[in-house]
């Protein structure tokens, strides 16, 4: 009986003989190493591609863009650019007729003298015609043709008086001259706008600041 046979168990069946023992296979390190290298190379490739994309975005290089892309972008930028301000005429190019629609004597001449000091050309200085005499409750009524309004002359004169109303001259009263306006003095008139304030308003008319309307929707990409 072999010494490896437990006591009480005889027979060849329970003997441990020969060299048939379970063999332990070595771990397959080669496959793990190849997989690790493949993973590292893939990650580095993805990082490199992402870096190139970021550099291209911030560099603004148009070399790989379609031929029409630059033209479209330029057109969009032009659409986003503010319109050039319409130049307004200077006071010395505007003729103002001053009419007194109140019962205060000499008011038309005083107002005409003040406007002349501010650079306006003075035309007629008289009492208001019958249809307007005593009928203007506002500080003043500014009468101008459509051409005078489009040219900006009406805005230049309106900068000289707060609360003035506007209207059109009677049909056939004069030709459609953008350089001639009527200033009808009303019952609520006290004095013209202060000279420095009027100058500030004229400066704003000459160089208006962009003030987008709430109803306007900016173009895409602006």
* Nearest alpha-carbon partner for 185 in 97, 96, 100: 100
Confidence of residue 171 (pLDDT cuts 50, 70, 90): low
| Structure-token pair, residue 142 | 């500014």
Predicted pLDDT of residue 8: 54
Share of the chain above pLDDT 70, in %: 53
Of the two residues 205 and 211, the one the predictor is more confident about is 205
- What are the two backbone dihedrals, phi and then psi, of residue 85, each rounded to the nearest 5 degrees? -65, 140
Mean pLDDT across 204-222: 62
* Nearest alpha-carbon partner for 152 in 209, 72, 213, 86: 86
Mean pLDDT across 183-195: 96
Query: What is the Cα–Cα distance from 122 to 149, expressed in whole angstroms?
Result: 18
Predicted pLDDT of residue 3: 52
Could you report the per-residue pLDDT of 87-143, keeping only the tens digit for each?
Answer: 889 999 999 999 999 999 999 999 999 999 999 999 999 999 989 999 999 999 999
Predicted pLDDT of residue 84: 55
Predicted pLDDT of residue 168: 86
Residues 165-199 as b or e (16 or more Cβ within 10 Å = b): bbeebeeeeeeeebebbbbbbbeebeebbeeeebe
Tell whether the model's pLDDT for residue 26 goes beyond 60: no
Query: What is the Cα–Cα distance from 200 to 160, expressed in whole angstroms?
Result: 11
Could you report the per-residue pLDDT of 32-61, keeping only the tens digit for each?
Answer: 666 666 677 676 766 666 666 665 555 555
Residue 142, SS3?
strand
For the chain, the first-to-last Cα distance in angstroms comes to 100
| Structure-token pair, residue 194 | 């202060």
* Residues constituting the chain: 222
CA dihedral 153, 90, 207, 75 (to 10 degrees): 70
Share of the chain above pLDDT 90, in %: 44
Classify residue 114 by burial, with Cβ atoms within 10 Å: 0-12, 13-18, 19+.
middle
Predicted pLDDT of residue 206: 85
Tell whether the model's pLDDT for residue 81 goes beyond 60: no
Predicted pLDDT of residue 32: 63
Partners of 125 in beta bridges: 98
Predicted pLDDT of residue 173: 54
Predicted pLDDT of residue 78: 44
Confidence of residue 24 (pLDDT cuts 50, 70, 90): very low
């Amino acid at each position: 009986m072999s010494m490896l046979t437990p006591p009480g168990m005889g027979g060849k069946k329970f003997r441990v003989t020969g060299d048939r023992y379970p063999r332990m296979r070595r771990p397959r390190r080669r496959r793990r190493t190849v997989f690790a290298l493949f993973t590292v190379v893939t990650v580095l490739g993805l990082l490199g591609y992402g870096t190139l994309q970021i550099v291209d975005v911030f560099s603004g290089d148009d070399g790989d863009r379609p031929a029409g892309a630059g033209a479209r972008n330029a057109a969009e930028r032009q659409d986003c650019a503010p319109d050039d301000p319409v130049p307004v005429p200077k006071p010395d190019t505007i003729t103002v007729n001053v009419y007194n629609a109140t019962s205060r004597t000499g008011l038309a001449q005083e107002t005409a003298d003040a406007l002349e000091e501010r650079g306006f050309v003075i035309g007629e200085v008289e009492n208001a015609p019958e249809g307007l005499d005593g009928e203007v409750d506002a500080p003043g009524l500014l009468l101008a043709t459509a051409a005078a309004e489009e040219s900006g002359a009406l805005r230049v004169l309106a900068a000289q008086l707060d609360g003035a109303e506007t209207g059109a001259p009677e049909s056939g009263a004069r030709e459609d001259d953008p350089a001639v306006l009527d200033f009808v003095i009303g019952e609520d008139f006290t004095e013209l706008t202060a000279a420095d304030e009027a100058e500030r308003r004229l400066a704003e008319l000459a160089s208006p600041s962009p003030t987008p309307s709430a109803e306007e929707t900016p173009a895409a990409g602006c």
